[in-house]
Every structure is written in C-alpha cells, then in structure tokens.
Amino acid sequence: MAWIVLIVSGMLEAVWATALGKSEGLSKFGPTFVFGAALLASMAGLAWAMRTLPTGTSYAVWVGIGATLTVVYAMATGTESVTGLKILLLLGLVSCIVGLKLAH
C-alpha cells in the first residue's frame, strides 16, 4: 500500500509543479489553489509512505515520478520541445525509478 501512495504522491508532485508554473508567481487564484491542494496532498502521501519505506528510496521515487510526469506533460502540451535525447533521458530516469522499487 505504501508504494501505491508513494506513486500517487509523485503524480501529485507533477500536478503542483505544473500549477506553480501556471500561477504566475502565485498571482492567479485557480492555479495557486491547485498548487496548494496538490502540494499538501503530495507531501502528506510522501510522509505516510516514509513510515514504512526507506527515506532515500521514497524521496528519489517521488521526485523521479514528479519530474518525469512534469516534463512529459510539458511536451504533450507543446510547452517544451520533444527530442529523441529528452525521451531517452526520461526513459533512463523511469528505469532508475523501477530499479529502486525492485531493489527494495
């Protein structure tokens, strides 16, 4: 169960990171509200997962999922360019996240 909560928390990290970018310095209410709610939920899930999972592994998986999904969303919406090298590096990041799960 801790792994599921950790994965969802990592996904919420991507939500709050994207909302933070869209909030224009926390000056737009909608994105700022989404940022705050997703941040609280993401941190609470990370903290809950860390009760049973190692801190280093939990944090690395949480950040890796959030960073990967943030970049993928930016590429899908056209905010960031898509290149073969970026895709290769994202696949490497995902492989490392899966490796941490398997090594646990």
| Long-range pairs of 44-51 with CB within 8 A, sequence gap ≥ 24 | 44/9, 45/5, 45/6, 45/8, 45/9, 45/12, 46/6, 46/9, 48/2, 48/5, 49/2, 49/3, 49/5, 49/6, 49/9, 51/2
User: Mean of the per-residue pLDDT values for the chain?
Assistant: 96
Is the pLDDT score of 57 beyond 80? yes
The residue range of the domain holding 74 is 2-103
pLDDT one-digit tens code per residue, 64-78: 999 999 999 999 999
Q: How many domains does the chain have?
A: 1
| Tens digits of residue pLDDT in 34-49 | 999 999 999 999 999 9
Predicted confidence at residue 88, as pLDDT, reads 97
Per-residue pLDDT at 104 exceeds 80: no
pLDDT of the residue at 94: 93
